[in-house]
Amino acid sequence: MFKTRFKLVLLCSSAAIIGGAYPALAHADTALTASVEMQNRVVGVVTNAEGTNFLVGAEVRISGQDQVAVTDREGRFSLHAPAGQHNVVVSYFGRQTQQVPVRIAEGEVARIAVAMPIEAASSVEDVVVTGRRPQAESEAAALQIQRASTSLVNVVSADGIGNFPDQNIAAALSRLPGVAVERDQGQERAISLRGAPSRWATLSFDGLNVVSPGGKRARTDTIPAAIAKTVTIRKAVTADMSGETLAGNIDISTRGAFDYPDRAVSLNLGYGYNDLGGGTQHDLSAFVADTFADGKFGAALSFSTYEREMVTDNFETDWESASEDREAGSETRFWADAHQNKLYRLTRSNTAYAGRFDYRPSDEHRFYFSSIYTEFTDDEMRNAHEFDFDDNAIRTSAGATRGYADIRTGNTPMKGTIYGVELDSSLNVNHTVESIFTNTLGGDHFVKGWYVSWRLNYTQSQAESGPSFNSSWRSPRPNGVIDYSLRPTVIYDYTNRDQHGVQLFDTIVNPDGTFSMGAFKRSLDPQDYEFVNLRSTTRLQDSESISARIDLTRELELFGRSTELKFGGQYDSRTKTDERTTLEILPAMLAGANVPMPSPADFAINDPYKGDMPLGYAFRYFSEKQAKALWGRLNEQGLSRVQPGVSETNNYEVSEDVIAAYAMTTTYFDWGNLVLGVRAEQVENEGSALVNFGNGFEPVTVGDDNLVLLPSAHLNWDINEQMKLRLSVNTGAARPDYSLLRPNFELNDEDMEISGGNPSAGPEKAIGADAYLEWYMPSGAFFSVGAYYKHLQDVLFDVEYSRYGRDDLNSGGINRSDYTYFTTDNGGEGYLAGVEFAFSQTLEPFAERLNLPDWASGFGLRGNVTLNTTETETPDGRKVALPGSSDFIYNIAASYERYGLSTSLSWQYRTEWLDSLGDGDALGDSFWDEVGRLDFKVSYAFNDRAEVYFDANNLLNEPGIRYQGDRMRVSEYESFGARYMMGLRLNF
């Protein structure tokens, strides 16, 4: 109810501003404008040479003065200057610097318009002849925003996102320096910034942070790239940014009507297929923006949807130090206790709707309301076939075995034969929707020398799954007795890490109880399984937040220097609830109602195998429709029940209130600027859940609070017109995710164990330093080198404590303070350090001097390299690398752009990275192996309005490989195939 009321308030407020605020403000504008004009200012707008696009990030100076203005998203700037004659100098990377004479009268505002041609072109006609250069132009736009920033950032522009075959924000950002991507089912999901865990990056729309559907980890795969104008990664934290931005912030700037000089309309249509499985993919996006009522009102609407059908080739192998192996040397042998194939059929889609409405009663007052809805949908069908090698295995010291972990039979961890292997299977259907709905009402005002900006935001993020269909099956046990003749004999071969294979044979039980191999078994059939259970789960994670923010900025003279003073505050109130319910159907329930046991044959189909992996056996897919019909028939007969304890042990609610205030100054010198600031954040959180104290579930509420002060300093030194040195020191504190702050506990009095959340977990903290040299060359080339270091404290890890150590779970005379405690907790100190290199260059500036033919000037090369090293201490004292951190990351792209043709061939690579910690034994930790990705794109622009394109992604079909300790102990292997798409883009 509150959510509905709040949405109505936002919508009504925007309507009131648009429909009725103007008459009330008209009178006030007269006085406010007069006060502005007393400032002796020059204001203006900067566009490209053709006047078709505003230039964002252009640097504007008045000769002889230190202060620098930077054009906003509408190409506008404002500078204070004494009365008299001046030269206004406007610079923009890749374009000719412009000097405009201007005379400022006392108490007046001078207005100018500046058009900037491309550096390499002597006239607008030259640009037309050579054609559009979307890659070069968008990169120049991104580099200019980076150059003009007073902190360390990397930027992808709207055209830049279109230059690679990327459908979501994660994929677009993966090509920037220091960015490593994490994938799920081959699709880019979350990103790691400079070796930091993905949870340390925050996500924002137009400067306001939002919480991702699953929690605080920034899930950028839920957001289509098409809705963004620019995406900025802020790597060095400033005082006006949220304190939980430990590694950096990903800010998505959406489009508005005033971002364009005229009406803007675009349409994109794409269609293609996936090589593995032959599924289709399609892409559709549209955008329209216009101003009306003499430029006082503006509206921009956009829509995007991308969908693909795909399959996955997969095998997973579980490794263990087998207690059954009692032969000499067992301490160095690790056996696969299970092997399985998870064969997915998937349909995934990204959809977004965005609208922004602006009202401009005058140049000094701007109001807007924006609403953005993004949705990621995952429809999944999974055939999982597992061979449970260690089921009912016995120790080799006890006599004859069936071969598991027994070197006496000639078996090794990598190759061997096991008789009478238990078969387990799960045939599942699930539907998941993750969405973000964010609404912002804001205003920007210039009042008596003060720039005032305010924002009110309501955001709802949801992750909703189900109702699912989950079915479990196993080898038959007639009358509950194991019959090994009904189980296959399995020959396993793991000597090829890219293909863990099995071969199946019938099992013969000899009269003396020994086993022999029978006939070759070609397929897994319904008669190989008996029914275990059917389940259907529904889960909703719902996060709601209300934010209010105000920022005040004023230009003044401080210690004889031009200084920008900025301060403000923000209030965030967030609540997350997590609720799930599982219904189940068990064999005993069917037997009691005299209902025949179901079989996989009830919903099997005869479609051929869609993957390419040689499985070693045949199997049958299943029908989603028939599977759900099976559940429906049994459920309608009243044969299902709520699974006990699922809701009670998993449901929770966590609230978080954050009050923040900051102050910062930017002081300008003839050599650059110095940014100093400090931020204070007071955080209170509270979690509520049910806890089983042994006599039933009882409600528990716990809370915590903390206050942090986060200072920062940034120095930007313009060594000369081309080179910039950036030095910064900054601090941050990333608060634990909501799922960790929950007070849910699962109590096991039999095993004397407690597991669950940790409401007392503290924030992860870092003190960072950055030093970067950027070189913006007159030829249009760019080179940068940078080093970074973060001192880490209290990094969170999953941990096992030998003793719970508290008495709040004691009840019924049971003392649980000495129970073993499994949770997540803060570790000790550590560090994250590295260096980055980035470069870009085209042949165009050198074509004439090298006497090259005109066509040769279109070649270009871009790339970046990141070298990382990390170490931190776990709660149990181990020294490990940060999860998600690769030691070596690089991207390289070769391009050609000339005569309307634009092509790029790009390669991404990262070395292995820690996925999760093991138990500290010799088996080792879990790692994702090195991975590369080769992509290609070509497009041809017939003119400024029409373009055709072809995209190819993952051309080498690079797999995702996870291993345990040693690279040969592969625990997961997935391949997804290449994707191809062709399409048409139109602009009006």
What percent of the chain stands above pLDDT 90? 65
Say if residues 396 and 456 touch (Cβ distance below 8 Å). Answer: no
Would you say residue 127 has pLDDT above 60?
Answer: no
Token digits of residue 611 = 């993957």
Lowest mean pLDDT among 85-99, 562-576, 750-764, 871-885: 750-764
Would you say residue 519 has pLDDT above 90?
Answer: yes
Which residues, at least 6 apart from 733, have a Cβ–Cβ distance to it below 8 Å?
243, 244, 246, 681, 708, 710, 763, 764, 765, 766
Query: Model confidence at 19, in pLDDT bands (50, 70, 90)?
Result: very low
H, E, C per residue of 677-724: EEEEEEEEEEEEEEEECCCCEEEEEEEEEEEEEEEEEEEEEECCCCEE
Would you say residue 971 has pLDDT above 50?
Answer: yes
Over residues 676-713, the pLDDT tens digits come to 999 999 999 999 998 877 678 889 898 888 899 999 99
Which has the closest alpha carbon to 938: 863, 858, 864? 858
Which residues, at least 6 apart from 480, have a Cβ–Cβ distance to it below 8 Å?
none
Over residues 151-168, the pLDDT tens digits come to 999 988 876 555 545 677
Which residues, at least 6 apart from 298, have a Cβ–Cβ distance to it below 8 Å?
256, 257, 258, 289, 290, 291, 292, 356, 357, 358, 360
Going by the DSSP 8-state scheme, the letter that residue 929 receives in this structure is: P
Which residues, at least 6 apart from 765, have a Cβ–Cβ distance to it below 8 Å?
246, 708, 731, 732, 733, 734, 792, 793, 794
Burial status of residue 65 (CB atoms within 10 A of its CB: 0-12, 13-18, 19 or more)? middle
First-to-final CA distance of the chain? 42
Can you say how many angstroms the Cα of residue 959 is from the centroid of all Cα atoms in its chain?
20
Which residues, at least 6 apart from 370, have a Cβ–Cβ distance to it below 8 Å?
205, 206, 254, 256, 354, 355, 356, 357, 439, 440, 442
Going by the DSSP 8-state scheme, the letter that residue 588 receives in this structure is: H
Please state whether beta strands 926-928 and 931-941 pair in parallel, antiparallel, or not at all (unpaired). Answer: unpaired
User: How far is the C-alpha of 843 from the C-alpha of 849, rounded, in Å?
Assistant: 10
Phi–psi pair at 198, nearest 5 degrees: -60, -25
CB atoms within 10 A of CB 943: 11
pLDDT: which is higher, 163 or 335: 335
Q: Work out the average pLDDT over 48-56.
A: 88
The secondary element (H helix, E strand) that includes residue 500 is none
Query: What is the per-residue pLDDT for 159?
Result: 60
Question: Using only C-alpha atoms, what is the Rg of the chain?
Answer: 31
- At 691, the amino acid letter reads V
Over residues 305-327, the pLDDT tens digits come to 999 999 999 999 999 999 999 99
Q: How far is CA 230 from CA 158, 455, 682, 791, in A?
A: 5, 20, 31, 31
Cα angle 341, 345, 350; round to 5:
130
Burial status of residue 766 (CB atoms within 10 A of its CB: 0-12, 13-18, 19 or more)? buried
3-state helix, strand and coil shares in percent for the chain, rounded to the nearest 5: 15, 55, 30
Token digits of residue 378 = 């995952």
